Structure 1
Amino acid sequence: MTNTSENQPVADPDEPFLTLDLTKMALDSANVGIWILDAVSRKFLPSNRSKILFGFLPEEQVSFDDALLKVAGKNRRRVLAAVEKAIKSRGNLYVECPLNMLTEKKHRWLSIIGGFSTSDLNNNYFSGIVVDITEQKQNDLRRSRFIGIVSHELKTPLTTLKAYVQMLNNWAKKQKDNFSIGALSKVEKQVRKMLNMINSLLNLSGAEAGKIHLTKQTFSLNELLNEVMEETLFITASHQISMTPCETILINADRDKIEQVLVNLLSNAAKYSDAGTSIEIACALDDHEIKVSIRDQGLGISPQNIEKLFLPHYRVESKETEKIDGFGIGLYLCSEIINQHNGRIWVDSEIGKGSTFNFSLPV
C-alpha cells in the first residue's frame, strides 16, 4: 500500500511570517505606513513607518491625539470630522492634510485612507494606510500658480469683450434689429460661460494655495436664489427649474462666493440630468443654520463615488459621463467655499434616481 503522505507538500511553519515580512518590506519601500484605530477606546497603533511620516521617532509612543496635533491649523478639525464620520457610518476614510514639521521648511502632505475590514458590527478595528504625497501636492501648487497667472491674463480682455457685446446688444434693441439681438445674446452667453470657467480656475488656484478670501456682507438669500435661478434658466433653457417658497432669510457671508456655489450646483444638476426633467431648489431655516438643497432627476451617484466627489480634479467616470464637459474642480471649490464659511456640504443620491446636493451655513 502506497503512503500518499510522502507525496504531500510539507507546510512551512514560517510561511505566514515570511508573507508578513514581505508585505512589510513592500510597504516600507513604497513609503507607506499602516495604522489601526480602535473605534471604541480610540487606542492608536501606528507602524514605525506611520510614526516617521507623522514626524515621530519609531521608538516613540504615539496616540491618536498626538498624530492629530501634527496636522496643520484648520485642517485638524476637518481630519477629525472625516474620521468621526467614517467610524460613525462605518464607511471609508479618504483625506489629505498638511503637517506642521519643525525640521522642514515646507508642509509635508499625507494621504490617509482607511475603513473597517469587515461588515461585522462587532468589529471595532478601523485600519488603513498613510502615504506621503508632498511631491504631488507641490506639483499641484505649481500647476495652480500657472493656471492662476494664465486665467488672470485671459480675464481682462474677456471682461472688455463682454462690455462691448452688451453695448452692441443695447444698440441693436434700439434699432429693433432682431437678428443682431439674437446673435449678440448668444455671444454674450458664451462670454459669460468663459468668464465663469476662468473664475473657477482662479478660485481653484487660490483654494489649493489655501488663499480663498471672503468679503462678507449681509444680504437676502432669497434674492440671490432667485437671481441665480433666472440666470441659469437664461443659459440652460432645457430644464424646468422651480423654487419652493421660503421665508425671507438674511445671512452674513461672501455673496459672490455663495453665488458661485449655487451656480455650480445648478449647472451640474442640468448637465447630469436629461433635458425636460425638473430641478428643485429649497431652503429652510432653523435655530442654528440655514440649509439649501438642489434636487435633480439625473444619473445618480454610487456610494463609493460620493466619498471622493469633493476632492480636487475628481470626476465620476462612466459611459454616461464621458461625453459631459468638466474639469472636476467645481464641487471641490464649492466644498472649500462652504468650509471657509464654517458650513457643511453633502449629497444624498441613488443611482438612476437623481441627486440632492445640500449645503448649510451657520446663522
Structure 2
Amino acid sequence: MENENIEKHTHSEEDQHYKLHRAEVLLAKLQESESRLQLAIDSTKLGTWDWNRERGKVYWSAECKRILGLRAEDHISFQEFLERIDIADRSDVKDKVREIANGSNEGHIDVRYKVRRFDDDSLRWIRIQGTVFVENKTLTRFIGTMLDITDTIQAGERNALLAAIIASSNDAIVGKTTEGIITSWNNAAQKMFGYAPEEIIGESVMKIIPEDRKEEEHYILSKLRNGESVEHYETRRRTKAGQLIDVSLTISPIKDDSDNIIGISKIARDITERKQEEKRKNDFVAMVSHELKTPLTSILLYAQLLVKKSTKVEDTSFLNMSTKIEAYVKRMISMITDYLGLSRIEDGKINIQKTHFALKPLADEVMEEARLISSNHTLEIVGRESVEVFADREKMRQVLINLVGNAIKYSPLGGPVTLGWESALDKLRVYVKDEGLGVTPEDQTKLFQRFYRVNDDDRQNIAGFGIGLYLVSELLRLHGSTIAVDSKLGEGSVFYFHLDPKIS
C-alpha cells in the first residue's frame, strides 16, 4: 500500500513537471510569436491602439504617437484625439464612433481622414482599421491600427494631375519600352497620328517612322538606354493615312526609385505648318535674292570698269568713289549669296564639289576684298604658300569671307586681323584671328545658331542678320569639319576649323 502511494506521488510530480515544461515552451513560443508580430508591425510603420472599457483609457503605441506628433511620455484621451481630426472630416468620424458605441454587434471598420498633428499642427492623412468587441450587447473593447498615408494620397493626387495634363495636352505624349514598344498613347497622339490607343499600344514605334528614318530611331534608343535625353529633335513621322508630317521630339528616359531605366517618354509636337511657313519664306528670300543678284552683278561690272577708267583721271576723289561703289556692291552680293546659301542648305539642295587647290591665292582674294571695306585694320596672311587643300573652293571662299568680315566688323576700333593656317597632326588648321570685342563663354555656345546675335551695348549699332556664322557652320559640316572659337571678352577671338591638306 505504501509503495502504491509512493508510486502515485511520483507520477503526480512527473505530470506536474511535464505540464510546467509544456507551459514554459508555449509561453516561449507565444513571446516569440509576439516579437515577430511586433517586428512585422514595426516594418510596416503601423501604429497600434487599444481602448478597453474596464481600463477606461486608450493605449497608443510609439508609432501612433509619432504619427500624431506626440512625445513618448504624452497620453491623450480618445476625445482629445477626435478633436484633432480635420474639421471637414470630424462630423463624419464622430457619427461613425457614435454608431460603434451604440452598436450591439461586433464588426470591423476601415476609414481614412485627415488629422492635425499635436506638435506642429500640420495636416496628415491617416488610415484607421479596427475591430469592435461586444459582450452582452455592450461595447467592451475597440482595438486597431493607424497608418500615415499622406505620401500615398499626395502621390495619387500628383498622378491624377499628371494624367489630366497628359490627356489634355496639345502635344502627343507617348510612353514606350526601351525596345520601342508603345505602352501609352494620349488623345493628342491619336489626333496627330490617326491611331486609336487600342490600335497602337503594344505595337512597335517603328509603325509611325518612315523607312528612311528607321536608323535615327535606333540611334535615339541607344542614347536613351545610356540615360541621356534628346531635346527638340526635328524629324518626320508617318500618320495612319500615310501622310508625312514634320515633328519636334523631346525624349527622356523614365527611371524607377533605384535610378534604373524602365521606359521612355516621348513628346512630339507637330511643326508641319511652321516648316511650310519657313519654306515659303525661304522661297521668297531666294527669289528676291536671285532677282537682286542679277542687276547687282551688272552694277559691279560697271563699277569695276569705272575704277579702271578712274586711274587715268587726275581727280583722285573719282577713283575713291568708284572703289567705294565696287566695295559696297560686293558686300551686297556677298549678303545675297549668304541668303541663297541658307535657303539651299535648308532645302537640302546644296552641292559640295571638292577639288585640290592652293590656299594662298584664295586667301589673297578674300583679303583683297576685305581691304575694300576696311581702312583702319591691318590685314595679314600667315601660312606656307605651297599648301593645298581638298575642298569646294567657292564654298571655302564663302566661309573665309564671312569669318574675315566678322573679324573686321567686330573690331570697330581697328587692329590686326589675321587669316592663317598651320599643320595639326594629319589635318590643316585654318584660322581667323582678331583683337576685337570678344565673346562670352555663354554666347560662344550659341554663336553658330541660325539668326543668333550677341545682344550687348557694344554691338547694338553693328549691322547683321545672324546668318553668317550659321552658314559657315553648315558649309563646314558638309565638308566633314566643324567651326570652333576661342575668345575672351575685350581681348578678341580666334575662329578655326580643320581641312584635309595636300602638300605640294
The TM-score, its normalising length taken from structure 2, stands at 0.56
Q: Which amino acid aligns with 2:154?
A: E
Aligned residue for 2:332, secondary structure, equals helix
Aligned residue for 2:414, secondary structure, equals coil
Q: Which of residues 344, 358, 381 is equivalent to 1:220?
A: 358
Cα distance in 2, alignment partners of residues 353 and 337 from structure 1: 27
Cα distance in 1, alignment partners of residues 237 and 309 from structure 2: 58
User: Is the 1:290–1:362 contact (alpha carbons within 8 Å) kept by the matching residues of 2?
Assistant: yes
Cα distance in 2, alignment partners of residues 211 and 14 from structure 1: 57
**2:140 counterpart of 1:140:** no
User: Is the 1:36–1:45 contact (alpha carbons within 8 Å) kept by the matching residues of 2?
Assistant: yes
Cα distance in 1, alignment partners of residues 260 and 362 from structure 2: 46
User: Is the 2:327–2:369 contact (alpha carbons within 8 Å) kept by the matching residues of 1?
Assistant: no
Cα distance in 1, alignment partners of residues 182 and 489 from structure 2: 37
Query: What percentage of aligned pairs have identical amino acids?
Result: 32
User: Is the 1:72–1:99 contact (alpha carbons within 8 Å) kept by the matching residues of 2?
Assistant: no
Cα distance in 1, alignment partners of residues 337 and 432 from structure 2: 22
Q: Which of residues 174, 178, 185 is equivalent to 2:323?
A: 185
CA drift at 1:257: 1.0
CA drift at 1:190: 1.2
The TM-score, its normalising length taken from structure 1, stands at 0.75
Matching residue of 1:59: 202
**2:400 counterpart of 1:262:** yes
Report the CA distance shift for 1:316/1:113 in structure 2 as closer, same or farther (over 3 A). Answer: farther
User: Is the 2:439–2:489 contact (alpha carbons within 8 Å) kept by the matching residues of 1?
Assistant: yes
Cα distance in 2, alignment partners of residues 267 and 186 from structure 1: 16
Structure of higher RCO (CA pairs closer than 8 Å, 6+ residues apart): 1
**2:414 counterpart of 1:276:** yes
Cα distance in 2, alignment partners of residues 71 and 353 from structure 1: 50
Larger strand fraction of residues? 2
Q: Which amino acid aligns with 1:59?
A: G
CA drift at 1:61: 5.5
Query: Where does 1:228-239 land on structure 2 (aligned, <5 Å)?
Result: 228-239=366-377
Report the CA distance shift for 1:348/1:286 in structure 2 as closer, same or farther (over 3 A). Answer: closer
CA drift at 1:169: 2.0
Q: Which of residues 72, 84, 98 is equivalent to 2:235?
A: 98
User: Is the 1:71–1:100 contact (alpha carbons within 8 Å) kept by the matching residues of 2?
Assistant: no
Report the CA distance shift for 1:252/1:43 in structure 2 as closer, same or farther (over 3 A). Answer: same
Query: Where does 1:140-219 land on structure 2 (aligned, <5 Å)?
Result: 140-219=278-357
CA drift at 1:216: 3.1
Matching residue of 2:117: 5
User: Is the 2:377–2:417 contact (alpha carbons within 8 Å) kept by the matching residues of 1?
Assistant: yes
Cα distance in 2, alignment partners of residues 226 and 35 from structure 1: 57
CA drift at 1:140: 0.9
Any unmatched runs of 5+ in structure 1? 116-122
Matching residue of 1:120: none
CA drift at 1:248: 2.2
Cα distance in 2, alignment partners of residues 214 and 241 from structure 1: 29
**2:431 counterpart of 1:293:** yes
**2:423 counterpart of 1:311:** no
Range with bigger deviation, 182-191 or 146-155: 182-191
CA drift at 1:160: 0.8
Cα distance in 2, alignment partners of residues 130 and 105 from structure 1: 16
Aligned residue for 1:174, secondary structure, equals coil
User: Is the 2:181–2:204 contact (alpha carbons within 8 Å) kept by the matching residues of 1?
Assistant: no
Cα distance in 2, alignment partners of residues 36 and 273 from structure 1: 52
Aligned residue for 1:185, secondary structure, equals helix
Cα distance in 2, alignment partners of residues 71 and 186 from structure 1: 54
Range with bigger deviation, 149-158 or 239-248: 239-248
Cα distance in 1, alignment partners of residues 438 and 361 from structure 2: 29
User: Is the 1:94–1:307 contact (alpha carbons within 8 Å) kept by the matching residues of 2?
Assistant: no
Between the two proteins, the alignment pairs up a number of residues equal to: 343
Aligned residue for 1:322, secondary structure, equals coil
